[in-house]
């Protein structure tokens, strides 16, 4: 009887259950479907742009107000540069007037100038300034020249523009040189004048007619410009 009860109790004892989940279920990735946000409306975009503009404006105002508030009492001493560290200036035999000629040209400005010259306002300006209507071919030539130089390298483009401005200066002032020296108009002084000597020469009073004086002055200027006529 004792053996019967002991064997019955061992048969009725349940088997232990494992709580480990299947490997397939644990390794399965969980994917979430992103929800698409509606595009912002025009009012929201305008509010964002306005807010960004106000922030930039406030930052600029704050920077300008505190620009001179943080100046140190003892400013740092400037570093001493030796003669060997000084930048070398390229030597050139060109006159200063040639060195100052521009080497860049704006095609947009050239087009605007030519277009305005062909307009009613441009011709009215010519009538007011010169007393007559003028052609605009030179301005259009500048525009097409600027468009032509866009296909050249930078160094060649600078040379072409500089040469064109030099030619325009020669046509404007005449002669083989760019401009004229002041000694072509006034005679240079060889010594310093004493006190009271300047502008004290007696000038002979003109007793002729105004037309006669203008003719004589025009002849004198032409002779000085072109030389004496043989």
The residue-averaged pLDDT of 178-193 equals: 64
Tens digits of per-residue pLDDT, 95-126? 777 888 899 999 999 999 999 999 999 999 98
- Is residue 157 included in any domain, yes or no? yes
* Burial track 206-218 (b if 16+ CB lie within 10 A, e otherwise): eeeeeeeeeeeee
Is residue 12 pLDDT above 80, yes or no?
Answer: no
Higher local confidence (pLDDT), 219 or 74 = 219
- Is residue 100 included in any domain, yes or no? yes
State percent of the chain over pLDDT 70.
Answer: 59
In terms of average pLDDT, the best of 84-88, 185-189, 194-198 is 194-198
- Is residue 137 included in any domain, yes or no? yes
- Is residue 141 included in any domain, yes or no? yes
Higher local confidence (pLDDT), 24 or 187 = 187
**Would you tell me how many other CB atoms lie within 10 Å of the CB of residue 166?**
14
- Is residue 47 included in any domain, yes or no? no
Identify the domain containing residue 156 by its residue range: 95-179
CA distance linking residue 220 with residue 170, whole number of Å: 23
- Is residue 227 included in any domain, yes or no? no
Mean pLDDT of the chain, nearest integer: 73
* Total structural domains within the chain: 1
Higher local confidence (pLDDT), 146 or 78 = 146
Is residue 36 pLDDT above 60, yes or no?
Answer: yes
- Is residue 19 included in any domain, yes or no? no
- Is residue 5 included in any domain, yes or no? no
């Amino acid at each position: 009887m004792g053996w019967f009860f002991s064997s019955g109790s061992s048969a009725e004892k349940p088997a232990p259950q494992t709580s480990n989940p299947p490997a397939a279920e644990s390794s399965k990735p969980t994917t979430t479907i992103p929800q698409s946000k509606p595009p912002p409306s025009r009012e929201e975009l305008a509010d964002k742009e306005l807010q960004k503009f106000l922030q930039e404006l406030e930052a600029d105002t704050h920077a300008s107000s505190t620009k001179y508030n943080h100046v140190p009492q003892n400013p740092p001493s400037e570093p001493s540069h030796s003669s060997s560290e000084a930048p070398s200036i390229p030597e050139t035999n060109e006159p200063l007037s040639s060195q100052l000629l521009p080497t860049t040209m704006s095609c947009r400005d050239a087009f605007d100038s030519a277009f305005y010259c062909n307009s009613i306002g441009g011709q009215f300006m010519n009538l007011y300034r010169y007393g007559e209507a003028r052609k605009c071919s030179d301005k259009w030539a500048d525009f097409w020249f600027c468009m032509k130089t866009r296909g050249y390298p930078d160094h060649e483009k600078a040379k072409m523009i500089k040469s064109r401005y030099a030619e325009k200066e020669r046509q404007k002032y005449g002669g083989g040189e760019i401009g004229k020296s002041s000694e072509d108009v006034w005679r240079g002084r060889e010594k310093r004048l004493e006190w009271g000597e300047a502008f004290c020469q007696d000038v002979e009073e003109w007793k002729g007619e105004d037309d006669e004086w203008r003719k004589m002055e025009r002849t004198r200027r032409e002779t000085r410009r072109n030389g004496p006529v043989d």
